[in-house]
């Protein structure tokens, strides 16, 4: 019955890997000060042209945080591309929930509305990766995340 509620392990690992490729493409430019300056200018131009507001001017601290975020996300994406595991989808879904909350907070504080595009994508990837875990949990309320369910739809390594 669980298999009705969640994709097969193979399908789910393809989702984990696809979300990693998205992350790599979108965040690689944030990983260095030089590429971040280019990404900042491009996002700023796009946002301004669409009438969505502008980004704050680049400063050293903003660049540092962008580079830290970019570096961590690039490494996390490479891990999920090279060795995708079902549990990576669970943790990535949780991370996307956090990213979504902070994007929503920034938007509520008046940040450029170009962030809406990132928020929509983060929420979508988060739902896609967390829904199978939520459905599995609802189908097997007595099985914990590391419980003995042999029929876990995400495979034994996903528990």
Q: What is the DSSP string of 5-19?
A: TS--HHHHHHHHHHH
- DSSP 8-state class, residue 79: H
Sign, CA dihedral 150-152-153-156, equals negative
**Tens of pLDDT along the chain (159 residues)?**
344 344 568 899 999 999 999 999 999 999 999 999 999 999 999 999 999 999 999 999 999 999 999 999 999 999 999 999 999 999 999 999 999 999 999 999 999 999 999 999 999 999 999 999 987 766 665 554 444 343 444 555 544
Q: What is the pTM of this model?
A: 0.80
Q: The dihedral of CA 81, 85, 86, 88: what is its sign? A: negative
């Amino acid at each position: 019955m669980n298999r009705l509620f969640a994709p097969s392990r193979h399908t789910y690992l393809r989702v984990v890997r696809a979300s990693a490729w998205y992350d790599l493409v979108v965040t690689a430019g944030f990983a260095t000060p030089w590429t971040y300056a280019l990404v900042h200018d491009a996002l700023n131009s796009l946002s301004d042209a669409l009438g969505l507001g502008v980004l704050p001017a680049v400063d050293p601290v903003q660049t540092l945080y962008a580079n830290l975020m970019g570096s961590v996300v690039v490494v996390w994406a490479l891990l999920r591309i090279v060795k995708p595991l079902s549990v990576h989808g669970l943790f990535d879904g949780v991370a996307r929930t956090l990213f979504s909350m902070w994007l929503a907070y920034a938007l509520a504080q008046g940040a450029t509305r170009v962030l809406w595009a990132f928020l929509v994508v983060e929420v979508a990837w988060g739902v896609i990766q967390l829904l199978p875990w939520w459905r599995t949990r609802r189908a097997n309320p007595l099985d914990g995340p590391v419980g003995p369910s042999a029929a876990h739809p995400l495979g034994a390594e996903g528990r």
